[in-house]
């Protein structure tokens, strides 16, 4: 392909092939078999890519540095033009999508709000039922334990027998209470587990798979900036249990 001289700001275009009308309900929506850059736009982009691919080795001279920087600017300008093309061609569709959203969102918001409201009411009732069942089951279990203790320590054989029989009856009643009042059809019960750290010094003694303690980058950035302003030397191991790594990056200016 012959080299194409360009500034990087040349306009680009998309080619829309074989437009057809698909339908959503009674609304015709245009669709296309294929969308691509036009032949001319593709050639402009490929020419920039060819230049960029010549910058794959280490820079060995000042003149080569100037060439790399110039080509970088050309690549960035071409990428910026592509983004502009994407934004411009999407504008009409974005407006259409916003209209669809405006038509649907108010009703959808109300339905979702009431869904959450009803869910809370159902959860409140089920939680109340479960709490009552749990309290009653615990009460019966305590009575059963008292009877088991009575059967264990009683001297009279008849007393032992009656206490043992009563303990088993109470155990059955406790299980029956827990099985009563299943949730209505369409509703299931599940336990939700939440874990939070209350003592980090103790939590870090757990296996690493159990508790992950990650440094907060923004805290270190603020602290290092404050230390630098105070004239304190920054070293990789200045924080206990932490290692700092610094990487220098280049920022190109347009």
pLDDT at 23: 47
In degrees and rounded to multiples of 5, residue 16 shows phi and psi of -100, 115
pLDDT digits (tens, 9 = 90+) for 68-118: 999 999 999 999 999 999 998 888 888 888 888 888 899 889 999 998 898
Q: Distance between CA 254 and CA 248 in Å, rounded?
A: 20
pLDDT at 197: 72
Q: Distance between CA 195 and CA 192 in Å, rounded?
A: 10
pLDDT digits (tens, 9 = 90+) for 14-29: 787 766 554 445 566 6
First to last CA, the chain: 28
Sequence spans of domains, the chain: 14-114
Quick one: which of 18, 22, 11, 88 has its CA closest to 44?
11
Strand partners, 19: 32
| pLDDT mean values, one per 10 residues, the chain (254 residues) | 62 73 56 84 92 92 92 93 90 83 90 89 82 87 91 88 90 85 71 69 73 74 89 85 75 58
Q: What is the mean pLDDT of the chain?
A: 82
CA dist 31 → 13, 21, 38, 225 (Å): 18, 6, 18, 54
pLDDT at 1: 46
Q: Distance between CA 47 and CA 6 in Å, rounded?
A: 9
pLDDT at 254: 54
């Amino acid at each position: 392909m012959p080299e194409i001289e360009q500034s990087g700001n040349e306009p680009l275009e998309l080619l829309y092939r074989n437009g057809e009308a698909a339908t959503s309900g009674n609304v015709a929506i245009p669709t296309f078999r294929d969308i691509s850059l036009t032949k001319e736009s593709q050639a402009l982009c490929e020419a920039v890519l060819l230049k960029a691919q010549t910058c794959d080795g280490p820079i060995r001279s000042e003149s080569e540095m100037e060439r790399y920087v110039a080509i970088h600017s050309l690549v960035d300008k071409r990428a910026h033009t592509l983004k502009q093309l994407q934004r411009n061609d999407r504008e009409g569709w974005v407006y259409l999508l916003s209209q669809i959203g405006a038509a649907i969102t108010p009703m959808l918001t109300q339905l979702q709000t009431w869904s959450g409201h009803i869910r809370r009411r159902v959860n409140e009732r089920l939680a109340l039922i479960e709490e009552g069942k749990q309290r009653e089951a615990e009460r019966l279990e305590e009575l059963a334990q008292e009877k088991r203790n009575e059967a264990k320590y009683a001297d009279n054989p008849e007393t032992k027998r009656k206490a043992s029989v009563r303990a088993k009856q109470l155990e059955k009643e406790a299980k029956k209470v827990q099985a009563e009042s299943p949730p209505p059809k369409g509703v299931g019960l599940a336990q939700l587990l939440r874990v939070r750290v209350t003592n980090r010094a103790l939590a870090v003694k757990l296996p690493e798979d159990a508790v992950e303690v990650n440094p907060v980058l923004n805290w270190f950035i603020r602290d290092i900036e404050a230390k630098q302003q105070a004239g304190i030397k920054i070293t990789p191991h200045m924080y206990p249990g932490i290692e700092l790594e610094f990487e220098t990056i280049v920022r190109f200016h347009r």
